[in-house]
Amino acid sequence: MPRPRTHDENLRLKLLDRAGELISADGPKALSLRKLAADVGTSTTAVYSLFGGKTDLVSALYAEGFERFGARMSGVSLTGDPVEDLVRLGVAYRTSALADPHLYAIMFTKSVPGFEPADETSEQARATMAPLEETIRKAVADGVFTDVPPEMITVSCWGLVHGLVSLELNGNLPEEFAVSTAYETALRANASGWLRR
Amino acid sequence: MPRPRTHDENLRLKLLDRAGELISADGPKALSLRKLAADVGTSTTAVYSLFGGKTDLVSALYAEGFERFGARMSGVSLTGDPVEDLVRLGVAYRTSALADPHLYAIMFTKSVPGFEPADETSEQARATMAPLEETIRKAVADGVFTDVPPEMITVSCWGLVHGLVSLELNGNLPEEFAVSTAYETALRANASGWLRR
DNA sequence: AGCGATTGATAACAGTGTTGCGATACGCTG
DNA sequence: CAGCGTATCGCAACACTGTTATCAATCGCT
């Protein structure tokens, strides 16, 4: 048989790790296949045999990002009070995003030019929102939230947290803005807006 | 004196126009200085003498984007009812974003790798939100909205619309989701959440 | 007419993702 | 044990990118 393969699962993980580091350090622009390969002691060919190309490598990072994200989201301890729980989930969302902002950028903004998430992985993205969906579904069923399709509230909450986090990461918020407290207040106000009156 | 200059204001506008077209057609990745120069019948040097470089060209697009955006926002006819007005402004925001999504991407997501908005232009960005700020400031002063710093509400509303629009443009929303109506409902619920109780 | 100076297109440079070639290094066969 | 076959992977070529240095072209003035 041929020479022993070095493009194995181990190398795959090393590439993925290093790629994440490079992106986290200097942004998506700094992720070059040549530099990546040199850093882990292989050639650019490895990326092609293990992933398929640069966009597929990014796709793998995308998936990993959602895995971490989903873990944090489902790790939130819920109280049963919908408003309080939505706030908690929102805070966890922000914490996750701030933990690795560049992964977040890959997930939710088109920060790597050629990359478009595949439908399958895009499905995984929404699966991350399961705890949120469940909380809202229950609140509507219990008559605590107003009677609209739950997805409507889900998307609204998701939109709010995503928007606030995006603005923060993008540097669009005023300098002297007390982000943390304002963030929580906004979450609470938004959730309250869905209370049955 | 030297040869007559052709790198003039006229060419500047043609470059800006064509750059916008290229980006709107195939995304930021498709904006190449060589192609751009060829399309308007000049050389890449023009971009350097007129703008300074590619990122500066993008910077000019960024500014133009905010100009259009600001025009649409301040063109909204207001009623005096804060909740209704926030909904109207939000709808105008979405309309603007959907009108030229790639310009929106330049403005609010880091869609062009090397580009970082300068502080000055970033200031212009927030100036666009003037109608929103004014509406909210008044509602708080009148005691219609709860008594928190107005910027807090402003950022919250901005975050919501920005988040929803981003998710929509990014393809993160479910296929069969009735975006328009859900969008309006979400805006109204969020605004209602700030009502004094 | 010819000089001087400035303008702008051309071409070189360093970098990118991607692809095809070809040396490599092993198991199997003779 | 020599040598073949073959899967594997590093290197180099290709086409492209933004950027910069060079240098020919082109005008007004002497």
Q: Is the pLDDT of residue A115 over 90?
A: no
Phi-psi category of residue B178: left, alpha or beta, with phi > 0 → left and psi -120 to 50 → alpha: beta
| Cβ contact B73:B93 at 8 Å | yes
Closest CA to A144 of A74, A75, A86, A186: A86
Largest CA-CA distance found in chain A, in angstroms, rounded: 74
- Condensed to tens digits (0 to 9), the pLDDT of residues B61-101 reads 999 999 999 999 999 999 999 999 999 999 999 999 999 89
Q: Is B118 helix (H, G, I), strand (E, B) or coil?
A: coil
Handedness of CA B6, B10, B13, B19 (dihedral sign): negative
Q: Does residue B55 reach within 7 angstroms of strand D, measured from its CB?
A: yes
Distance B173 CA to D9 C1' (A): 42
Closest CA to B162 of B191, B138, B193, B183: B183
Amino acid at B97: A
Distance B6 CA to C7 C1' (A): 9
| Cβ contact B163:B156 at 8 Å | no
Q: Compute the distance between CA of residue B15 and CA of residue B33 in angstroms, rounded to an integer.
A: 10
Q: What is the DSSP letter of A8?
A: S
- Condensed to tens digits (0 to 9), the pLDDT of residues A132-182 reads 999 999 999 999 999 999 999 999 999 999 999 999 988 888 777 788 999
pTM: 0.90
User: How wide is the angle at C-alpha A27 spanned by C-alphas B32 and B57, nearest 5°?
Assistant: 30
Q: Compute the distance between CA of residue A68 and CA of residue A85 in angstroms, rounded to an integer.
A: 20
Q: Which of B110, B125, B194 is the closest to A111 by Cβ? A: B110
- Contact between chains at A108 and B172 (C-beta distance less than 8 A): yes
Give mean pLDDT, residues B157-166.
Answer: 95
pLDDT above 90 as % of chain A: 74
Q: Compute the distance between CA of residue B137 and CA of residue B178 in angstroms, rounded to an integer.
A: 32
Q: Does residue A180 reach within 7 angstroms of strand D, measured from its CB?
A: no
Q: Does residue A44 reach within 7 angstroms of strand D, measured from its CB?
A: yes
